[in-house]
Every structure is written in C-alpha cells, then in structure tokens.
Amino acid sequence: MASAPRSIDIATFINERKLGPFNFRLIVLSWLITVFDGFDMMLISFTAPWMRDELSLSTHQLGNVFSAGLFGMMVGGFAFAYIGDRIGRRQTIIGAAFAFGILTTATALAQSYEALLILRFLDGFAIGGMLPLAWALNIEYVPTKYRSTVVTVIMVGYSLGSSLAGPVTVWLAPTYGWEGVFVFGGLGTIVCAFALLFWLPESVRFLASKNLKPDLIAKTLNKVDSTLGATAQDRFVLSDEKQDTSNFTAAKLFKGDLKWLTPLLWLAYIASTLAVYFKANWGPIVYEDLKFSRETAAYVSSIGGIAGAVLGLLLMRFTDGKGPLAVAVYPAVAFPLLLLVGLVPMEPTLFLIVSVAATSFVGGAHFGILSIAGVFYPSAIRANGAGWATSVAKIGGIAGPIIGAFVLASGLPIVRSFAILALCPAVLALCALGIGMIVKRRKAPADVLNMAQPAPAE
C-alpha cells in the first residue's frame, strides 16, 4: 500500500545532515571543472610573453587582450546567472563548460591581435557563467555552517588551475608554441564537460523555490539519502525562505538589509578582483622586466597562487564560524606588505620572498570575498546574486590589466606597481568590516533571506 503524501522541508533535511557521498561527488565535479576554468582563463597571462614575441604585440595591446576576456566574463556572468535562475543550474553549467572548452581550443587558431580580442571575449563570456552557478549549486546542497568552506574548496580548483597554467606553459610552449597550451586546456575542459553531462544534479532547492518537477526533486533527494523514500506526490517546501515563482528583477538584490550588503559586497569584490587580475595578468611580465628569468617569473607567480589558495582554505573555518568579519584579516595584512615591496629596496631573494607573501595574502583575501558572494541571497535568486556580484566585480578585472599597462608604460619604476596595488586590499578590508557589522545585526538567516523576496501586493 502506497504511503500517504508528506510535506518534506528540504531546508531542514539538508541543514540537519552531514556531508555525504552525494555532496563529495558534487564537490569533486565542481572542483574539476573550476580547475580548467582557472587554467583556461589564466593561460593568456603565462603565454603572453610568447604571444608578444611571435605576434609583435605592444604592452597596450596585451592589456586590451587581457581585458577582453574579463569583459566577456562580466557580460557572461550576467547572462548565465539569469539563465541559471530561469532554467536551472545543471543545464546552464554544462552549456557553459562545453562552450569555453571549444573556445579555448579555438584560441590556438588566432594569429592576429584582432582575432585574439574576439576569441578572448567569447571565451571569457562562457567562463564567466561557470563559477557563480557552481557556487550556487553547491551552497544549496550543504548545511549553512559549511557553505563558505565548500565554496572555498571549489575555488581552490580555480586557483590550482590558474597556478598550473604557469608550469604547463613552461612545459609545452617551448616545444608546441603557445597554441599547444590552449589546445591542452580546451580539450581537458571538454572531457570535464562530458563528466558533468553524465553526473551533475539539478538543485532541489531551486526546483522547490520555483515549484518545478516534484518527480526530479524526489529522485534527487533519494540519492542524497536512500532511506528518505520521497515521491513525486510529496509536498516539497523551504522553511527558510518564501517561494518565489516570479521572474528575477535587479530590485530583489536590494531588499531589506541587502540594500547595504549588495553594494558593499560589489565594492569589495571589485577591489579584490582588480588586485587579483592586476597581479595575475602582469605578474609574469613584471618579474621578467625586473630581470628575473622567464621560468622564474612563471614559477613565482604560480607559487603565489597556490599559497593564496592554502591561505583561503585556512580562512574558511573562521568565516563559517565568525562570519564576514574574518574576511577582513588577510587584506589588512596584504596592505602593508605590498607597500613594503613597492617602496623599500631589497636584494633579489628577499624581494621574491616578500612579494610572494604579499600576493599570497591578496589571493587568500579574494577567496574570502568569493566565499560569501552567494550566501546572503535566497535560492530563487542565488545564481543572480552571486552572478551579478561576480560580473560587477569584473569592472575591477577589466580595469586591472588596463591600469597595469598604463603603470608599466608610465616610466615609473616597475616595482612601484606593488605599492599602487596596495590600495585594493585596503578597500576590501573596510568593506568586509562593514558587511560583518551588518550581518551581526541579523536575528536569523531566514529573516534576511525573506527580505530579499518581493513585498506582497498592497
């Protein structure tokens, strides 16, 4: 005899569980695709010296190529976030993965400045849709206390991919040219995209918030816990937020205390992204112009990226426990270190050590702001909340390479670029303190999530 339909609270079901095989499989899938997301995006930085020599590109042209990819990421982040909140996370993530795999491979065919601009924009457009959707999907399957940690673990994949771009370029480029490095990255991405096609789930919180596909919700929840016995006849609810089947509007990002949180999050994210892409895009060239070898420049930049990921992981348990105030710690350390590197003369070995430490804290700080980008938004608009933050942040990403080009071409000592970079973590630290104070006033997460919903009709 069939059991009577039940009311299943998905929020409580997920929040009272420990992480299990379902979560670990999802994290691994998300981690793998973000490895290639970071690898494909950062290839341009490490292959830039080869491109500059082979295609006779000027400093300003390289800056424009860097920024074209970031502008694409900004536009793609808006577009894919909207699609992800309309049709779901799974289909959008898979589509983005196949797209940027194909476009990264196609970049190997570019033999002119104009072709590079176009392909980097299109590749960035596809890459920009990946990260916020991966965060949103994972956030919606883990207890609240693990959200920042899980996002950071996934972002370690991005950082690892970014860091591996350096050694892989040094390995492949001398033999196969910079083109071979893009083929390697693109084909690896396509393989991961097929893995997503077979094993990536849809978000049950998203489906429930939109009142969609109860059969798929039941099937997925039973994969999370085989003893649940959910059926399509059950009623699926979210006790920590209101159901919202209406279309997304930007005004929803500014309801309640989100009217303060969203601008602070955006400003912090812009500053952090400017710093990260300034150092990522120009780092290898800056070290090379400071008379370090091309191989040393690539490895030093990669080590800084890996160290930043490790620092990000160390931070996350504090962020989950102490809240956004913990995010202010790393930028507060990075600020004086960058001033020291940029303004105080040092012998080469000490310079490398201190500069790697400074840029590592810049990277660790970026993990902090990334980890909270989607936490404050309800399921119905979480992809848009994280996606808009990520896309707006690309204002800093686009500005970073362009500002870097002007600084390097200005006649200032190249080492002063580190001192200029110090402004970014200072802004991030102040914004993180502001976010922390606002969140501290909240009575409960559900109160704030509900504030983001449309007000009832009068």
Tens-digit pLDDT profile for residues 52-63: 889 998 888 888
Residue 424 scores a pLDDT above 50: yes
Residue 446 scores a pLDDT above 60: no
Query: Rounded CA gap, 16 and 18, in Å?
Result: 7
3-state secondary structure of 243: coil
Calculate the average pLDDT of the chain. 84
For β-strands 235-237 and 7-9, DSSP reports them as parallel
| 215-245 confidence digits (pLDDT tens) | 999 999 999 998 999 999 999 988 876 665 5
Q: What is the 3-state secondary structure (H, E, C) of 394-433?
A: HHHHHHHHHHHHHHHHCCCCCCHHHHHHCHHHHHHHHHHH
Confidence of residue 312 (pLDDT cuts 50, 70, 90): confident
Q: What is the largest CA-CA distance in the chain?
A: 82
| 106-149 confidence digits (pLDDT tens) | 999 998 999 999 999 999 999 887 877 887 898 889 988 888 78
The answer to whether the CB of 71 falls within 8 A of the CB of 394 is yes
Residue 200 scores a pLDDT above 80: yes
- Which whole-number Å values give the CA distances from 59 to 15, 92, 292, 343, 363, in the listed order? 51, 36, 18, 24, 24
Instruction: Name the β-bridge partners of 9.
Output: 237
Domain coordinates of the chain in residue numbers? 10-451
For position 317, what pLDDT does the model report? 67
- Which whole-number Å values give the CA distances from 433 to 81, 197, 328, in the listed order? 27, 40, 6
For position 444, what pLDDT does the model report? 46
Q: Give the number of C-alpha atoms closer than 13 A to the C-alpha of residue 40, restricted to the C-beta side.
A: 42
Torsion sign across C-alpha atoms 304, 306, 307, 313: positive
For position 455, what pLDDT does the model report? 33
For position 449, what pLDDT does the model report? 38
The CATH code for residues 10-451 is: 1.20.1250.20
Percent of the chain with pLDDT over 90: 36
Confidence of residue 395 (pLDDT cuts 50, 70, 90): confident
Residue 103 scores a pLDDT above 90: yes
Query: Rounded CA gap, 124 and 77, in Å?
Result: 9
Which amino acid is located at 436 in the chain? Answer: G
Identify the residue with better confidence: 380 or 343: 343
Burial class (CB in 10 A: 0-12, 13-18, 19+), 247: exposed
The answer to whether the CB of 435 falls within 8 A of the CB of 259 is no
Segment (H or E) for 71: helix 59-87
For position 454, what pLDDT does the model report? 35
